[in-house]
Amino acid sequence: MPLLSEEHKDKIEFVMAQSPLIPVITIHNPDDAVPLCQALFNGGIRALEITLRTEHGLDAIRRVREAIPDAIVGAGTVISIDQYREVERAGAEFVITPGVTDAILDFGVTSESPLLPGIATVSEMMMGYSHGYRHFKFFPAEVSGGTEALKAFAGPFPDVCFCPTGGVRQQTAAAYLALHNVSAVGGTWLTPDEAVASKDWQTITGIARASLAAIGHRG
């Protein structure tokens, strides 16, 4: 079984260290991709997860990478090897999955785009752990036990760090980030549908700044 190299571990650790808040971005209008991500970046968000939940995800990754070269642009909701290859070609600088399979874990070991595997249970985490992964997305965080589950995970796995996503809100982000095994949190609250639909980019920037301030981070 191929094992994750220290270089790959360093890559995903670098991504999570750049921004304690990682927005989960779903693009419904391709023309919104750049101004939305620019608004988040202006608010201090450095790592951007653009999901493949719509057909516009791949194009959005390409556009945002070109338009905002200082941002770290990754792909989320990657559920197959074919999608993993597509987001690599689109220029994704990191890849996030909602769950794990042995095939995706194996592929991530050799990929230039580092993988943050999604897990909900200790058994799933152990699958990734056996491949050398030490950073995971905890999803869906709130319904999978929230902060109490992560505290329990820390006992047998003190060397594992998480990015909880799913049900996390601005008001609860700080509680997650207070845990020593949480490096970043992800969420959709940074991109409310109403503000995106009305193209109110100033509001998006304000939410990003307020969210970072709430956790005591300067963007």
Peptide bond into 23 cis (omega under 30): no
d(CA 187, CA 156): 27
DSSP letters, 130-172, are HTT--EEEETTTGGGTHHHHHHHHHTT-TT-EEEEBSS--HHH
Locate 63 and state its tokens: 């556009």
Q: Which of these is catalytic: 49, 55, 151, 199? A: 49
Query: CB–CB of 170/6 below 8 Å?
Result: no
User: Is residue 49 annotated as part of the catalytic site, yes or no?
Assistant: yes
Q: Which of these is catalytic: 6, 9, 93, 137? A: 137
d(CA 142, CA 165): 8
Amino acid at 65: R
Cα–Cα distances (Å) from 26 to 32, 36, 37, in that order, read: 10, 10, 11
Angle, alpha carbons 172-178-179 (nearest 5°): 110
Query: CB–CB of 49/74 below 8 Å?
Result: yes
User: Is residue 137 annotated as part of the catalytic site, yes or no?
Assistant: yes
Q: Would you name the residues annotated as active-site residues?
A: 49, 137
